[in-house]
Structure 1
Amino acid sequence: MSQTTQHDLIGIADVAAKIPAFISKVPNLLSGLKQAYLRTPNTPAGLGIAFEKAVKRNPEGFALYFEDQKYTYNELNEWANQIGHYYLSLGAKKGDVIAVMIENRSELVATIVGLAKIGVTSALVNTAQVGKVLTHSINLVKPIAVIVGEECRQAVQDVRDDLTVAADRLHWFADQATRIDAGKAPKGFINLAETIDQFPKFNTPTTASVKGKDGLFYIYTSGTTGLPKAVIFTNSRWTLAYGTYGHVLNLNKDDVMYVTLPLYHATGTVVCWCGVIAGSATLALRRKFSTSSFWKDVQKFDASAIGYVGELCRYLMDAPVSELEKGHRVKKMIGNGMRPNIWDKFKERFGVEEVLELYASSEGNVGFSNVFNFDNTVGFSPTPYAIIQFDKEKNEAVRDAKGWCKKVKKGEVGLLVGKITRRSPFDGYTDAEKNKSVVMKDVFKHGDSFFNTGDLVRDIGFRHAQFVDRLGDTFRWKGENVSTTEVENMVSEYEKIAEAVVYGVEIPDTNGRAGMAAITLTDAAELNEQDCSAMVNLFKKSLPAYAVPVFLRIQKQVETTGTFKYQKNKLKEQAFDPKQTDDRLLVLLPNATAYCDLTPEIYANIQAYKYRF
């Protein structure tokens, strides 16, 4: 992120100037905050209850658009109820988990609502996962069933023998409008669309029995153990997001929110969809983001709001000017990762008036939201937090002589930590040891506890912050969190590679960090043209596309610390600059099927943004 300027710092006068525009949101925001903060772990809460309220407010209004499909709130509710009743008939109960692997489409939305109403936790599996990673993700949460879309069936079928799920609990949706044509299930799978058709359409009797403490989703994040971690997202946390992000957006029955973000991530399924449900508005869904189709879809669905991540914004800015990007209804957008260097340009080019940038994480207990519509900030946080001094060399918080952490001054960068309280709890991971590693004790006084976000942010004043960087063994690329350890394990499976150190490096004018692997080869091995192609094939087979390393650095040996930790700081600083090292450097250029040598000319072209990574 670029350096802060005096202009970015926020004071009382700046907030006062925003008050007139903010006033119109206040009634709706107060209503949301009341729902968010009056909840307790034992009060009825969550997606199921909120959705049924939206159905009552706007029964014949459209809840969902997907391709040429349209569903009213009544129709989507009846569909979800049939799914819920079916699983109740199988004996599913509150606290059970069902793994769901369906791309962004109507069947996924109906499934999530249906399971939420009966208190069953949906484990939202990343649809790009394959092999060992997929097996781990499903078995980790001990599901009673797996619901898979035809588009993901082969990946599940490939690991079927390794899954700890009963043979008669693999449920399937055809890759089509299954409310019209259920399709024919392949061998070994039960046709869910066909099976639920005989079940009742009225509301399940369980919705009001779902409490705040009950699990709603498992969302997977990259872990330092090398495999994804499942983060529990409770109904209480969803209600907090619904009451804040959902109501700040201030949508109504005439609004349409266009979402191309994957619903297995919280930005899409929680942040964007919350705003839709809060306003009884319409969710317009696309399976995957497409630059060329984006504004066509906005016009087709008559969208008035969009969900985003920073990479999406950059792709739209890079695209040629189109007549479709003007003359639409989009005035609001909600998401995260908008780069400061395109913020103003994006608003001006596409006619957007409000960028509701936010900060949150699937596992965290602290959130920021740009409620006052300032530029270049993740916004304001009502939750208790601190930004503390952090020593990047030692990789630890700075403490004074008495052992207490020290807050940064306005304008300075530090580690963001969220105070753990009854109102802002840390729900945690499935792994108890991982929970211990991210909770900091005795931060400012004896007995206090804070969640370590692992993120560096800048304090810009008036409880506002700017996101700066991510610490630790994950980095963000293509809008996804990449686990360095997971990639290291997979890269090292190539027969000529003895060891790999993976880290993120910045490419000019792109969001996040591209993957780079410093590799050492087995004795006497060399990489030839055939290897450069074979490595790409293996990596793409074993890893999601966004996790495949863009750069390789071939080292004679890997530098480690005295405690055998990889020396990543030096590698990150040298990145992929040929002038910084005598090591051989390789790059996987956009649309290429093999790595090639990174020459000074290619390096110069990357720096000049002549390649679109």
Structure 2
Amino acid sequence: MTFIDDQDKVTPYTFQQVDKITNQVANALKADGMKYGDCIALMMDNKPEFVFSWLGVAKAGGITALINTNLSSKSLLHSFVTSKATRFIIGSEHLKVVDDLRQEIKNSDNPETQIVSNGKYYIEGTNAPGYLSFDSFIEKQPPHLIGGFPPERNGSHPLLYIYTSGTTGLPKASIITNLRLAMPGIAFTNTYRIQPTDIYYCSLPFYHSSATLICLSASWYSGAKLVFRRKFSASKFWKDCIKCNCTVAQYIGELCHYLLERPPAQEDKAHGVRMMIGNGMRSNIWEKFKERFNVKQIGEFYAATEGPAAIFNGMDKTGAIGYVPKILMRILDGVPLIKYDVENDEILKDEKGFCIRCKPGEVGQFVTVIDPLKGSEFRGYTNKEATEKKILRDVFKKGDMWYLSGDLLKMDKDGFFYFVDRIGDTFRWKGENVSTGEVELTISDFPGINEVNVYGVRMPNTSGRAGMASIVVEDLSLFDFKKFYDYTNEKLPSYAVPLFLRFPKSIEVTGTLKHLKAAKREEGFNPDIVKDPMYFIDKDAKTYIPLTKETYLSITQKKAKL
């Protein structure tokens, strides 16, 4: 593997070097009293030490909780507590946020919090009071693994805890077994024909499943070289690929959009990347991206960190997130989409009490059978209650179990699947379901718009939610609200036209470049709370007008036309 740091220094590591260093980590942890099955929490940016750490923990028979580096305070404490870790490996870049947390909980009388407070902390890259030096900790250890691999370890043994994004609540720790790490590597290598001669570029955070379960796993299984950068940089993405001769690259969320937003440059087509693999590529930029950057194939897929299965678009079908051939559909006894009532937030059942499969073109919740005999196992989360919420029983027959994705998809007649929305993001207005994803696609094609995030906001004394489009524009003073009104009313159903427009300087995203929606929904449209410029639809004038305090009162007092 090869690491590119913040100063663009390139450092290669051979398999032998990684093997020796991870042996040293394992030896050091065991010498320090770590027992088989213990959990170590790891909070670090993409660095070689990140990989060394969790591989070393695995060799010692432990489990590593990969902590989201964007967390702080209560969310960070929650992740530490739910991991049940007693040891913590911290990158020096996160020393302050961890130190602040330790001071905050120092005198806590909560037993769970005390475990975090009293744990052993190793700091990588520096020295600090109250921390053991990670570098000094391992450097005196021999490069061979003392005692060999734990004999108890097998494919079903927990290897990692990878946390969900926590966009709808506190993060949940997904259980990743040894087999669960290997399976994506096999699937992605075979689906996208990754070769030992390929060089795989990753700028996504290793705490996320896309980087660890796909990039790392696929490179190890295929024999391809992995090149990774500490953090994603749109300006350095293609430069890195050119410098390291990369042939495959990983994307997620809005990454490809950010690359397209960059000014045209010589390196746009000077690289050798033949394929981009990931999820979240919008259909309206799919072909633009391939054309501008001379990328031959987009390898879009659909999966969840904790999910028991995935679907792949290995045919580069624009906009499709996956494909299920008819023969596999027969094995599954039909389309893995079930009818869902968005307004009442419930799964629809037939007269016998079983779920109803969707027909081609119908929107439904994606489900996956849970059956170890079919290679579909769901280990869920460390929290048993959270695990049970993702399992639906007696779905199509008595005794069966299916995993609930929480996502709304639709399938065409040929077996290609398309993402519609996340349950909770789709909202009801005027008795109709509004897909935030579809509205975003339409609005993003309007001239002068750089980025858009759509969500529903609650209206007083009104059922459902009204559409809010949070838009980043090149120049708000030049934005034509009249033309935008005409455009949205022409392109969208009347119930999907946003009532509110908000103009932030940038769209807030998660650590994996996905739009934040839940927090924005809660902010609503009150000008005393939202400081960004906001506008409200004026149906009489066929335009949008500034949302002042007077306008806000008119809306809340039900005087404004909706």
TM range (shorter): 0.7 to 0.9
Equivalent residue number for residue 590 of structure 1:
506
Equivalent residue number for residue 27 of structure 2:
85
**CA shift at 1:374, angstroms?**
3.1
Paired residue total:
462
| % identical aligned pairs | 33
Q: Does 1:109 align with 2:31?
A: no
Equivalent residue number for residue 464 of structure 1:
416
Q: Does 1:323 align with 2:266?
A: yes
Equivalent residue number for residue 170 of structure 1:
121
Equivalent residue number for residue 347 of structure 1:
290
Q: Output the CA distance in 1 between the equivalents of 2:144 and 2:457.
A: 54
- Equivalent of 1:444 in 396, 401, 406: 396
**CA shift at 1:263, angstroms?**
1.1
Offset from partner CA, 1:536-587 (integer Å, 9 cap, x none) = xxxxxxxxxxxxxxxxxxx7x586xxxxxxx6x423x355699999999865
Provide the aligned C-alpha RMSD in A. Answer: 3.4
Give yes or no for contact 1:408–1:414 (8 Å, CA) kept in 2: yes
Q: Output the CA distance in 1 between the equivalents of 2:304 and 2:35.
A: 28
Q: 1:253 to 1:288 in 2, by over 3 A?
A: same
- Equivalent of 2:336 in 386, 390, 396: 386
**CA shift at 1:209, angstroms?**
4.4
The alignment partner of 2:465 has SS state of: helix
**CA shift at 1:346, angstroms?**
1.2
**CA shift at 1:264, angstroms?**
1.0
Give yes or no for contact 1:63–1:76 (8 Å, CA) kept in 2: no
Equivalent residue number for residue 178 of structure 2:
235
Alignment-mate amino acid for residue 448 of structure 1: D
Q: 1:374 to 1:437 in 2, by over 3 A?
A: same
Q: 1:226 to 1:445 in 2, by over 3 A?
A: same
**CA shift at 1:314, angstroms?**
0.7
- Equivalent of 2:365 in 390, 415, 422: 415
Give yes or no for contact 1:359–1:368 (8 Å, CA) kept in 2: yes
The alignment partner of 1:159 has SS state of: helix
Give the alignment of 1:423-572 within 5 angstroms.
423-461=375-413, 463-472=415-424, 507=440, 508-509=443-444, 513=453, 569-571=464-466
Q: Output the CA distance in 2 between the equivalents of 1:153 and 1:84.
A: 23
**CA shift at 1:65, angstroms?**
5.2
Q: 1:339 to 1:605 in 2, by over 3 A?
A: farther
Q: Output the CA distance in 2 between the equivalents of 1:474 and 1:261.
A: 27
Give yes or no for contact 1:65–1:301 (8 Å, CA) kept in 2: no
Q: 1:605 to 1:231 in 2, by over 3 A?
A: farther
**CA shift at 1:104, angstroms?**
1.1
**CA shift at 1:511, angstroms?**
7.7
The alignment partner of 1:444 has SS state of: coil
Q: 1:249 to 1:110 in 2, by over 3 A?
A: farther
- Equivalent of 2:302 in 321, 340, 359: 359
Q: Output the CA distance in 1 between the equivalents of 2:41 and 2:500.
A: 43
Give yes or no for contact 1:232–1:363 (8 Å, CA) kept in 2: yes
**CA shift at 1:286, angstroms?**
1.3
Give yes or no for contact 1:441–1:447 (8 Å, CA) kept in 2: yes
**CA shift at 1:123, angstroms?**
0.7
Equivalent residue number for residue 353 of structure 2:
403
Q: Does 1:133 align with 2:75?
A: yes
Offset from partner CA, 1:292-311 (integer Å, 9 cap, x none) = 11111111222111000130
**CA shift at 1:375, angstroms?**
3.0
**CA shift at 1:149, angstroms?**
0.4
Offset from partner CA, 1:193-235 (integer Å, 9 cap, x none) = 1110011212461166421221121111145873111111111
Alignment-mate amino acid for residue 447 of structure 1: G
Equivalent residue number for residue 279 of structure 1:
222
Q: 1:511 to 1:191 in 2, by over 3 A?
A: same
**CA shift at 1:463, angstroms?**
4.5
- Equivalent of 2:205 in 234, 247, 262: 262
Give yes or no for contact 1:221–1:229 (8 Å, CA) kept in 2: yes
Alignment-mate amino acid for residue 165 of structure 1: V
TM-score when normalising by structure 1: 0.69
The alignment partner of 1:165 has SS state of: helix
**CA shift at 1:373, angstroms?**
3.6
Offset from partner CA, 1:337-375 (integer Å, 9 cap, x none) = 111111122112211122211111012112112234433
**CA shift at 1:516, angstroms?**
7.4
Alignment-mate amino acid for residue 160 of structure 1: R
Alignment-mate amino acid for residue 504 of structure 2: L
Alignment-mate amino acid for residue 247 of structure 2: S
Alignment-mate amino acid for residue 438 of structure 1: K
Q: 1:85 to 1:582 in 2, by over 3 A?
A: closer
Q: Output the CA distance in 1 between the equivalents of 2:12 and 2:270.
A: 23
Gaps of 5+ in 1: 1-61, 175-183, 476-502, 519-554, 560-566, 607-613
Q: Output the CA distance in 2 between the equivalents of 1:380 and 1:426.
A: 21
Q: Does 1:376 align with 2:319?
A: yes
Give the alignment of 1:118-267 within 5 angstroms.
118-161=60-103, 162=105, 163=113, 164-165=115-116, 167=118, 169-174=120-125, 184-203=126-145, 205-206=148-149, 209-223=152-166, 226-267=169-210
Give yes or no for contact 1:271–1:335 (8 Å, CA) kept in 2: no
Higher mean C-alpha displacement, 152-161 vs 576-585: 576-585
Q: 1:79 to 1:511 in 2, by over 3 A?
A: farther
Equivalent residue number for residue 550 of structure 1:
none
Q: Output the CA distance in 2 between the equivalents of 1:224 and 1:101.
A: 19
Q: 1:372 to 1:396 in 2, by over 3 A?
A: same
**CA shift at 1:190, angstroms?**
0.6
Q: Output the CA distance in 1 between the equivalents of 2:134 and 2:397.
A: 54
Q: Output the CA distance in 2 between the equivalents of 1:86 and 1:112.
A: 13
TM-score when normalising by structure 2: 0.75
**CA shift at 1:116, angstroms?**
2.4
**CA shift at 1:591, angstroms?**
9.2
Give yes or no for contact 2:457–2:465 (8 Å, CA) kept in 1: no
Give yes or no for contact 2:121–2:130 (8 Å, CA) kept in 1: yes
Give yes or no for contact 1:118–1:210 (8 Å, CA) kept in 2: no
Q: 1:243 to 1:124 in 2, by over 3 A?
A: same
Q: 1:600 to 1:392 in 2, by over 3 A?
A: closer
